[in-house]
Amino acid sequence: MKTVNAYAAPSATEPLIPTTIERRDVGAKDVLIKIAYAGICHSDIHTVRGEWGPQQYPLTVGHEIVGVVEEVGTEVSRHKVGDRVGVGCMVNSCGECANCRQGEEQYCLEGNIGTYGAKDVDGTITQGGYSTHVVVVENFVLSVPESIPYEAAAPLLCAGITTYSPLSHWNAGPGKKVAVVGLGGLGHMAVKIAHAMGAEVTVLSQSLSKEEDGKRFGATDYYATSDPGTFSKLSMTFDLIINTVSAKIDLDAYLSLLRLNGTMVNVGAPADALPLHVFTLFNQRRSFAGSGIGGIRETQEMLDFCAEHGIAPEIEVISADAVNEAYERVLSSDVRYRFVIDAATLA
């Protein structure tokens, strides 16, 4: 076992603290990664605070990881020492069910193994990327193109794929009108990716405070949802709506913005149920859907797409000892648009 420096939550109510965690020995199919940067996702905060269910503490979170391969197992063929690599929201799956065989490991019928807070194959609880090193089976390690700025690559492993996957699945592209609800860590990536796919993009945000940013990222239009006139003006406008906010919203109001056969996809994960009236769906044969992350194949496709189109998240790099302050700033929407921990500050 390898002991490495990390930041961990001692409980659901205490700040994260510096500590050490153990990483397993490198097995035949494993890759040891020296972490360079780890992104902070809102999911990290929900998890450590027990908002998505009870956890085993202490817990190190972080599922937006980039680094350099430091050691490989004897049977590893996809990666070599010195490669720039990444790890996202999962580190294993059964590999045998129908969904895994289709390259949809995120929907593994046995349940994929999350990068943190999940029971690993050896019975231990997985620990995430707020640390200096991680050991991951090679099939769940991704190649990070050289053209993507190293410090900005980490959030692509969650925010990037979480928005790329539904945009790709529901065929965002030329001739399609796409609305993005919320311009935060997820939303700003959705705008950049949808624009690069060729869609006409509109941002729907609570206020117009980020309008300049939204249009710089590729949005053609930007509307304040706090203005009741927005919903009447944009009635039956969009082919696809990507909702990135993790809060209760009036689903019927947003669904009314869809044209015939339009779809609204939730990628934000509010803790409370979201009610709707089924007649809103009957009108214009609308659909309401959800989407998680992507599989490994699609995540690599997303990384290559971002490299090809020069897409990277907007980030603020912080030292590890600033993580608790960063959490509070995330909760108050005081970040544009993703915090990234410099793992060297853990050393």
Which whole number is the average pLDDT over 296-313? Answer: 97
**What is the pLDDT at residue 269?**
84
Residue 87 has a pLDDT of 98
pLDDT mean across residues, the chain? 96
CA distance 127 to 56: 11
Range scoring the smallest mean pLDDT among 3-17, 59-73, 264-278: 264-278
- Residue 270: predicted pLDDT: 81
List pLDDT tens digits, range 23-33: 999 999 999 99
Most distant CA pair in the chain, distance: 63
Lowest mean pLDDT among 132-136, 265-269, 309-313, 340-344: 265-269
pLDDT at 117: 96
Q: 3-state class of 317 per DSSP? A: strand
Helices 185-197 and 159-169 meet at what angle, rounded to 10?
A: 40
Task: pLDDT band for 347, please (50, 70, 90 cuts).
Answer: confident
By CB neighbour count within 10 A (0-12 exposed, 13-18 middle, 19+ buried), where does 15 fall? middle
Angstrom distance (rounded) from CA 347 to CA 342: 10
pLDDT band at 308 (very low <50, low <70, confident <90, very high): very high
At 52, the pLDDT band (50, 70, 90 cuts) reads: confident
Residue 238's nearest CA partner among 203, 268, 196 is 203
What pLDDT is stored for residue 107 in this prediction? 96
- Candidates 301, 311, 317; CA nearest to 142 is 301
User: What average pLDDT does range 306-328 have in this prediction?
Assistant: 97
Could you read off the pLDDT of 115-153 as tens digits, one per residue?
999 999 999 999 999 999 999 999 999 999 999 999 999
pLDDT category of residue 45 using cuts at 50, 70 and 90: very high
pLDDT digits (tens, 9 = 90+) for 211-235: 999 999 999 999 999 998 999 999 9
Tens-digit pLDDT profile for residues 151-205? 999 999 999 999 999 999 999 999 999 999 999 999 999 999 999 999 999 999 9
User: How many Cβ atoms are within 10 Å of 245's Cβ, its own excluded?
Assistant: 21
Model confidence band, residue 16 (pLDDT cutoffs 50, 70, 90) = very high
Residue 11 has pLDDT above 90, yes or no: yes
Question: Is residue 266 within 8 Å of 243, Cβ to Cβ?
Answer: yes
The yes-or-no verdict on residue 271 having pLDDT over 80 is no
Tell me which of 170-184, 272-286, 315-329 is least confident.
272-286
